[in-house]
Amino acid sequence: MRILIAEDDPVLADGLSRSLRAGGYAVDVVTTGEEADTALTAQPFDLLILDLGLPKLSGLEVLRRLRARNSKVPVLILTAADSVEQRVRGLDLGADDYMAKPFALSELEARVRALTRRALGASQSVLRNGALALDQAGRVAMINEQPLELSARELGLLEVLLQRAGRVVSKEQLVDHLCEWGEEVSNNAIEVYVHRLRKKLEPGGIRIATVRGLGYCLERVAAEAANDAPAVGPAQPGAVPPGAA
């Protein structure tokens, strides 16, 4: 999940980006409306956190241009506590939610999770596939209710794949969702992360298949099969054996 924060208050921007990064999100920060507009034109984001009081170009104008380009990226606007009018205009222009300053970080994080979830069409905050469960709220993944030890990057990677279980995700998409500007993440690095994640998932019968030339696919496990699945055992029938990919 990659988030753009457009906020000119450095303390707030810093606090927001720290807490979201700790939750496994990739975060980019811009401090003017112009920069926000440029970034949104150039790059796909999973969520925009938009301060309405931005220099150079107002947050409302950034939002208007974004929706005029038919972008569906979820937008959470940040407004001053007393600006009911701005809030209403923001929602009318296509913002999905708002928070009035000052706000609790924990509430913002909950709204971020709700918006990214809604954008992907899911209503639960726990993503499941077979014995695997990823609690987006608690930022923890479990196999058969046993927590997995994952780095923030591995958790982020797993989240992107799990949200698209059964579908192929390209390395470029993974880089877009996981990496921030200035980060040099090569396709090789992505392969390393996938390799590590695979080793942690395979004991639970969860497989990440390599689709040669296209990317990766977290194989979908049928719900009924999951109930009968052994805690530790071979991958599901029909799965490509390890090393074949």
- The dihedral formed by the CA atoms of 143, 147, 153 and 158, expressed in degrees to the nearest 10: 20
- The 8-class DSSP code of residue 225 comes to H
Q: Closest separation between CB of residue 114 and Ca ion, Å?
A: 24
Rounded Cα distance between 90 and 132, Å, is 38
Rounded Cα distance between 6 and 32, Å, is 7
Beta carbons within 10 angstroms of residue 5's beta carbon = 24
Choose between 31 and 163: whose C-beta lies nearer to Ca ion: 31
Choose between 9 and 202: whose C-beta lies nearer to Ca ion: 9
Q: Closest separation between CB of residue 8 and Ca ion, Å?
A: 5
* Residue 83 contacts Ca ion per CB under 5 A: no
Q: Give the bridge partners for 169, in sequence order.
A: 216
Choose between 8 and 61: whose C-beta lies nearer to Ca ion: 8
Choose between 51 and 96: whose C-beta lies nearer to Ca ion: 51
Q: Closest separation between CB of residue 105 and Ca ion, Å?
A: 17
* The only residue of 51, 109, 154, 159 in contact with Ca ion, by rule CB under 5 A: 51
Rounded Cα distance between 235 and 167, Å, is 18
Residues 20-49 that bind Ca ion (CB under 5 A): none
Q: Closest separation between CB of residue 51 and Ca ion, Å?
A: 4
* Residue 202 contacts Ca ion per CB under 5 A: no
- Give the DSSP per-residue string, 130-197: TTEEEETTTTEEEETTEEP---HHHHHHHHHHHHTTTS-B-HHHHHHHH--TT----HHHHHHHHHHH
Q: Closest separation between CB of residue 56 and Ca ion, Å?
A: 12
The helix or strand, by DSSP H or E, that contains position 217, with its residue range, turns out to be strand 215-218
* Residue 53 contacts Ca ion per CB under 5 A: yes
Q: Closest separation between CB of residue 185 and Ca ion, Å?
A: 31
Alpha helices by DSSP H, listed for the chain, are: 10-22, 33-42, 59-68, 84-92, 105-119, 152-163, 171-178, 187-201, 223-228
Size of the site for Ca ion (CB under 5 A): 3
Letter string b/e over residues 90-106, b meaning 16 or more CB atoms within 10 A of that residue's CB: beebebbbbbeeeeeee
Mark the segment that binds Ca ion (CB under 5 A) among 51-59, 64-72, 111-119, 236-244. Answer: 51-59
* The only residue of 8, 34, 176, 180 in contact with Ca ion, by rule CB under 5 A: 8
Q: Closest separation between CB of residue 99 and Ca ion, Å?
A: 13
Choose between 24 and 33: whose C-beta lies nearer to Ca ion: 33
Choose between 77 and 158: whose C-beta lies nearer to Ca ion: 77
Query: Which chain residues interact with Ca ion by CB under 5 A?
Result: 8, 51, 53
